[in-house]
Structure 1
Amino acid sequence: MSAGRGLAYKIVPVTTFEQNCSVIWCEKTKKAAVVDPGGDLPKILAAIDELGLTLEKVLLTHCHIDHAGATADLAETKGVPIVGPQKEEQFWIDLLPQQSMMFGFPATKSFSPNQWLEQGDTVQVGDQYLEVRHCPGHTPGHVVFIHHPSKLAIVGDVLFNGSIGRTDFPKGDMDTLVNSIHQQLWSLEDDYEFIAGHGPNSTIGFERKNNPFVSDHRG
């Protein structure tokens, strides 16, 4: 658990893909959001209860099965809205039942988000606000969430520690993804930390210098 300046988070790894589901909350109000509930719903619910939080909403970066598999059940169980991603992600939402069968996940329901997000939107968690940036390439409707006071970003499968998201799935595109990283993430200061969809956290500055796919020094 870390962050500060009004926002805290706990990473809850879920599914056999070890996806970094994030419980984020306003330190003042204890109101929370779950970002990318990919599966293992009891584990997510236990984390919310253990932290003494009140869930306000589900936030989605994108809708591959390991990020969105438990979304419908969590929203229904807690009676909260589903917010995001960007509307082009409906393609992957509609395929969730097929994705669950393909990867051996529990049966998964598709859903309709209560709110689509667009570039420049903000989402509120308690008294805290996160900026939304549209970062297509891994999937067409992928978004990232940025909490500027704590210099924390939640980037899903756009950027990883030492790597970037796959683009060999339907509607993925490498040039689009690289452009998203350059335009939407490299504009952040070097000391912004990010939670990736898989693996350890990193910083924008470290990846700008060292990431073999998108660093300033590649090639």
Structure 2
Amino acid sequence: MRFCITPVTAYQQNCSLLICEHTNKAAIVDPGGDIDTILKAIDRENATPESILITHGHLDHIGATAELAALLSIPVIGPHQDDQFWIDAIPEQCRTFRFPACDSFTPSRWLSQGDIVKVGEEVLDVFHCPGHTPGHVVFVHRNTKLAIVGDVLFKGSIGRTDLPKGDFNTLIHSIKNNLWPLGEQFTFIPGHGPMSTFGEEMRNNPFVSI
């Protein structure tokens, strides 16, 4: 599986394309906005989108979801249903954060701990990692040791927990009990900023270092 990262919106949120190298089918992860930019990335990668994967319900990660799903006629998968209140609040989020108006949506499939998602012939494991939001999920591709962690973990930091239904202790538990056991060799794509490895964060991240 290969991937490309396209920062979108004024928040420079990392929208990722996960592409099966056998079929060229792709999943669009967290399309927060800037649909034209996302479509150009898909065209550049010569990929065929088959789904949209959502890590959590914050606007900068889901703003373009409804429009893109309709445009491409593909299903929306995730996050965990505990983030439904965030998805329902998209119009309010747009007004609050001065985003262009976006539509709410209902995912084709909610996700839970232990689920799997397919991208072409590739398989992603799903981990429910609440704390930043209650319904946040992480997608893990074991064959390439890659995790798409949304706003759970960043290089040198962690997701904020001061928004509705965020919880610091829950977030730390999610990282240490769901992510660290995967191993130091795992590389991760965060929701914002540069990639890192779990090993580097275990050693150097002041919030969750061992």
What TM-score do the two structures reach when normalised by structure 1? Answer: 0.95
Q: Distance in 2 between matches of 1:12 and 1:96?
A: 22
- Matching of residue 169 in structure 1 with residue 163 in structure 2: yes
CA distance in 2, matches of 1:149, 1:108: 36
Distance 1:164 1:157 in 2: 7
- Indicate the residue corresponding to 1:209 in structure 2: 203
Partner of 1:37: 31
Match of 1:148 in 2: 142
Residue in 1 aligned with 2:121? 127
Counting aligned pairs with the same residue, the percent is 59
Q: Which residue does 1:181 correspond to in 2?
A: 175
| Secondary structure of the corresponding residue to residue 6 of structure 2 | strand
- Alignment partner of 1:106 out of 71, 96, 100: 100
Q: Using the alignment, how far apart are the partners of 2:49 and 2:178 within structure 1?
A: 28
Is residue 2:62 matched to residue 1:72? no
Q: Matched residues in 1 for 2:32 and 2:167: separation?
A: 23
Q: How many angstroms does 1:188 deviate by? A: 1.1
**1:85 equivalent in structure 2:** 79
1:157 is the counterpart of 2:151: yes
C-alpha separation in 2, matches of 1:63 and 1:114: 15
How far has the Cα of 1:102 moved from its partner? 1.0
**Residue 19 (structure 2) aligns with:** 25
Q: Which runs of 5 or more structure 1 residues have no equivalent in the other structure?
A: 1-6
Gaps of 5+ in 2: none
Equivalent residue in structure 2 for 1:56, among 50, 56, 59: 50
How far 1:52 sits from its partner (Å)?
1.0
Moved over 6 A (4+): none
What is the aligned-residue RMSD (CA, Å)? Answer: 0.5
- How far apart, CA to CA, are the structure 1 residues paired with 2:201 and 2:53? 25
What residue in structure 2 maps to residue 199 of structure 1? 193
2:7 to 8, 13, 16: 13
Shift of 1:51: 1.2
